[in-house]
Amino acid sequence: MTKKILVLLFALALLAAACSDSADTTTTTAGETTTTAAGGTDETTTTAASTTTAAPAVACPSEEGGGTVVIGTTDAIASLDAADAYATRDWEILKNFNEPLLKWVPGSGEEIVPGLAASMPVPSDDGLTWTVTLREGLTYADGTPLTAEVAATQLTRLLTISETGPNQVGLTLGNPYVTSVEATDDLTLVFTLPAPIAFFPQLLASAAYIPPNPEIFPAEELNIFPEAPLTGTGPWIVTNIVPDESMTLEPNPNYYGDQPSLDQVIIRQFGDPQSMALAVQNGEIDIAWRILGSELATELGNVDGLNSVVVPAGPIRYLIINHVLEPTNDPNVRKAIASVIDRDELSDVIFGGAVDPLYSQVPPGFLGANEAFDSLYASPDLDEARAFLEASGYSEENKLVLPVWYPPEHYGATTADGVLLIVQQLEATGMIDVDVQAQEWGTYIGAVVGGEEYPVSVLGWFFDFPDPENYLQPFIENGGIGTMVTSKDGDITPGVNPELLSLLTASRSETDPAARAAILEQLQDVYADEVVTVPLWIEPEFIVYRDGICGDASLPNAESLNIGATMEFVYSVLGTDGS
């Protein structure tokens, strides 16, 4: 009899759970995959349509301080060597147990302050050298002194051995901008540049410009996945690493700055966002950070004791337009596509208005950012789109057949929804037949990067360093990453306006902000005219944390635990209310 009751109870429990209201739970599917966040650049997120709620931060930290905070993530660690690492999660860890020469004020996306440097760097008159003076008495957490000579040797790794690693960050953020790093005395570093660049301080604030501990990261070779303890110059020491499972950080007693108020931060890795959402609900983790979709984040925001907050930063989504393949090698076809995209409709229908439409590849808030696609195409404008198509011989009888590709699992469920709506918008001209195709990420990205298959495809992007350069240069200058605007030899694709390259070069070296903003605006106009890419929207990013966890109220964006526009999570600002 007991057995029967047990069986019955179990069956009832299953039925009850299956029938429960999904709004009260987190079993609702919000996306598929949370694979690699590539290179701090191509962003992987899971998203769904809805908004989230923000609760006020509680009064904390407690005066006693201390305690452990557990942070959940679905991002995997790919590399912990600053001369190789090139992913958002890797950079976050690196910047917590190390410090670059300059750093962003936590929560701020605008203010750079000296890190290991004693003051802001000084450029030479010709802009070809920058001098950095280090703070006095710096040591790594294990006591190894950090002199200018050590820093120069360790920073040179970015220029010399980065290419031996899998991520090769030096080829993107090192060699193109810096020729050499030398120490002229115990405290002075001199960077020599091949050409003046306006955004050198932003580069120095990136994780790539961390001088790692020579005892762990030798000058001659990379150490991509070193064993704990990992000692650096930052406020934390990585005391334990269990691959695929967890990482423990404890305060660095030798840190030159203020000590963290917490005793311990533990990072726990999850295989999928749903499990992470449940873990923050039942208190196994205190914070769920990257990568939750908006649907899960909204549901969690409705749970007592949880705070779900939109971080004031996020990756952008855009259409990659291949300038070499037919039919998108025709400027009229590209312009027709740009003319029909209705970003407001995309935001409203797919995201419930939760995302910001994007009218330039450079998002609002960056120097010189404008809305070139809006002013040039007044999109949506179907008549204009038809005119462009007619100019190339297309009509309602002779329709343009346009293949559009997307990765169904990589960016979450909303990508498919967004693409299908874009298909409707394109076909609303009556002159385009879209051949929409989905492809698994591993195959998809190879085809996009190779530039030999997909005329139109969808990608995401988040900056490596927060400057307009990093939103424009990769799409204009890097032949072979899909846009095919520039060939692998650096030549502009025939038929594409060469001003793209000259304006990019001019904006790079112009140090006067007003003059640079003017060049950047002009560059964005040409970019939009050539339809190098079609910017679509800015994706929201979420952080969910339990009551009793807090950021630093004296810094910007305390409600998002001081994660600001740079999307950097500085663990030393965290505190608890002692409960």
Partner 1 sequence: MHPLTLTFLIFGIPALIGLTYVYVRGSSGLRSYTTTRILLTIPMILILATVVFFVMRILPGDPIDSTLGPKGTAEIKERFAEQHGLNDPILVQYGRFVGSVFTLDFGNSLIQSQRPIVDELGERLPATLEMIIPATILALGLGIYLGTQAGIKRKSAADYSSRIFSVMIYAMPIFWLGLLFQLIFGVWLGWTPIAGRIDPTIPLDRITNFLTIDAIITGNWVALRSVLAHLILPTLTLGLVLSGVFLRLTRINVIETNQEDYVAAARARGINQGTITRRYALQNALIPVVTLIGLQVAILVAGAVLTETVFAWPGMGRYLIQRILSRDFTAVQSVIVFFALFVAVISLVVDILYSLLDPRVRY
107 versus 468: smaller Cβ distance to partner 1:
468
In this structure, are residues 359 and 371 in contact, taking their beta carbons and an 8 Å threshold? yes
Q: Is 168 in the site for partner 1 (CB under 8 A)?
A: yes
**18-26, 186-194, 332-340, 419-427 -> range binding partner 1 (CB under 8 A):** 18-26
Q: Is 163 in the site for partner 1 (CB under 8 A)?
A: yes
**Whole-angstrom Cα distance, residue 76 to residue 184?**
39
Residue 373's nearest CA partner among 321, 325, 428, 326 is 321
Shortest distance, CB of residue 40 to partner 1, whole angstroms?
9
User: What is the residue whose two structure tokens read 């040409």?
Assistant: 526
Shortest distance, CB of residue 124 to partner 1, whole angstroms?
30
Q: Which residues contact 21 (CB under 8 A, 6 or more apart)?
A: none
Shortest distance, CB of residue 165 to partner 1, whole angstroms?
8
Shortest distance, CB of residue 430 to partner 1, whole angstroms?
33
User: Quick one: which of 35, 147, 473, 522 contacts partner 1 (CB under 8 A)?
Assistant: 35
Buried-state track 153-189, b at ≥16 Cβ within 10 A, e below 16: bbbbbbbebbeebebbbbebbbbebbeebbbeeebeb
Shortest distance, CB of residue 171 to partner 1, whole angstroms?
6
Shortest distance, CB of residue 382 to partner 1, whole angstroms?
30
In this structure, are residues 290 and 546 in contact, taking their beta carbons and an 8 Å threshold? no
Q: Is 438 in the site for partner 1 (CB under 8 A)?
A: no
Question: Dihedral of the CA atoms 58, 63, 64, 65 (nearest 10)?
Answer: 50
136 versus 245: smaller Cβ distance to partner 1:
245
User: Quick one: which of 137, 145, 243, 364 contacts partner 1 (CB under 8 A)?
Assistant: 243
- At CB < 8 A and 24+ separation, what contacts does 351-355 make? 351/47, 351/49, 351/50, 351/294, 351/414, 351/537, 351/540, 352/49, 352/50, 352/51, 353/51, 354/49, 354/50, 354/51, 354/52, 354/294, 354/310, 354/540, 355/537, 355/538, 355/539, 355/540
Shortest distance, CB of residue 278 to partner 1, whole angstroms?
5
User: Quick one: which of 109, 115, 165, 368 contacts partner 1 (CB under 8 A)?
Assistant: 165
119 versus 443: smaller Cβ distance to partner 1:
443
Binding characters for partner 1, 51-80, by CB under 8 A (x = yes): -----------------x-x-----xxxx-
Site for partner 1 in 205-234 (CB under 8 A): 224-225
Site for partner 1 in 260-279 (CB under 8 A): 264, 266, 268-272, 274-276, 278-279
User: Quick one: which of 105, 447, 506, 518 contacts partner 1 (CB under 8 A)?
Assistant: 447
Q: Is 371 exposed, middle or buried (0-12, 13-18, 19+ CB in 10 A)?
A: middle
Site for partner 1 in 273-312 (CB under 8 A): 274-276, 278-279, 281-282, 284
Q: Is 445 in the site for partner 1 (CB under 8 A)?
A: yes
Shortest distance, CB of residue 245 to partner 1, whole angstroms?
5
User: Quick one: which of 30, 31, 32, 42 contacts partner 1 (CB under 8 A)?
Assistant: 42
Site for partner 1 in 488-527 (CB under 8 A): 488
Q: Is 4 exposed, middle or buried (0-12, 13-18, 19+ CB in 10 A)?
A: exposed
